[in-house]
Amino acid sequence: MKTANEVRLQGLDGLRAISILLVLAAHLLPLGPKVLRFNETAGAMGMSLFFALSGFLITSGLIRNPRVGEFLIRRFARILPLVYAYTFVVLLIFSFNPRALLWTDLFIVNYLTDYLSTGWTEHLWSLCVEMQFYIAIAVVVLIGGKRALWLTWLACLAVTLVRIQADAYIAIETHLRVDEILSGACVATVFRKDLIFNRVAMLMTISAALWAITSWPLAGPMQYFRPYATALLLFVTMQYVAINKNTFLASRPMQYIATISYALYVLHPATAHGWMNEGNPAIKYLVKRPISFALTFLLAHFSTFHWERRWQEAAKRWIKRRRSEPDETAIASSTS
């Protein structure tokens, strides 16, 4: 029988699956009359959930294991192999733009937006936000230890205040977007595995509605509260899946989509580029888009299990060897 914690983690996989499906739908499908801006809403919902999940998982991991070196190795092994391979192909082979490759692979192109390659790499701004967050939180833990992670609360509020001052309902620059990651980090600092409360289904419904409303471009200033609505949804969902162990969020299909979600995100623009993005609406969305989705999932599966996994396993072996070195040194000293 699954423990409550195992179910909660699988529920997080369900949320990750929802986040990537929302992003794919926002980028690849028409979601309603343009005047209602549902595509932008779905994109904001998906990214805010992705960011909050990332903040929660990263911070939870650092609370359990505040070894900064190991944290960075795991993160780099997770992010770099695929994005470097992808950008090499699309920015040097499919379109020759070495400068865009440089700034994209240094993860600062969300500030140098002239080098965001339309149709190929413009979505990679989010990885810049992620990587800059990783570096910042690693420095915080390196200096102040895991207790310094409580600073995420102050940082989250500070970023939101900067957004309000800048009239930035939504942005790609880290200092105007990272509160979505920090909100998940805040949840990690207060979350308890044994916490269960009543009427969780109603709370989940309310939090999901707030998440959707604060992601809608026509909601105006309510969008400033998107990070907090998303964090509330994350917090409540973990309680919901602990109580409802057979929820679809913890199902195998959702776990699979979550597993390949990073590759889906990185690769999906390439399958709907150029000729695949041309034609009348019937041809474009009824014929070509199903092919794009199929190719995206096929490539993501291959990347996840045959390319990315090799690097992640190598990182695990490096960490294991690094941890064993002090023991071997101690044994050698005691026998000399």
pLDDT band at 250 (very low <50, low <70, confident <90, very high): confident
Residue 332 in domain: no
Residue 91 in domain: yes
Residue 329 in domain: no
Contact of 134 with 72, CB cutoff 8 Å = yes
Residue 157's CB is within 10 A of a number of other CB atoms, namely 16
Instruction: Name the residue range of residue 119's domain.
Output: 4-323
pLDDT band at 8 (very low <50, low <70, confident <90, very high): low
Tell me what pLDDT residue 336 has. Answer: 46
pLDDT in tens, 114-124: 999 778 999 99
Residue 334 in domain: no
Domain count, the chain: 1
Residue 288 in domain: yes
Tell me what pLDDT residue 332 has. Answer: 46
On the question of pLDDT at 33 being above 90, the answer is yes
What percentage of residues in the chain have a pLDDT greater than 70? 92
| Least confident segment among 25-34, 165-174, 246-255, 294-303 | 246-255
Residue 336 in domain: no
- Is the model's pTM score more than 0.85? yes
On the question of pLDDT at 335 being above 50, the answer is no
What percentage of residues in the chain have a pLDDT greater than 90? 81
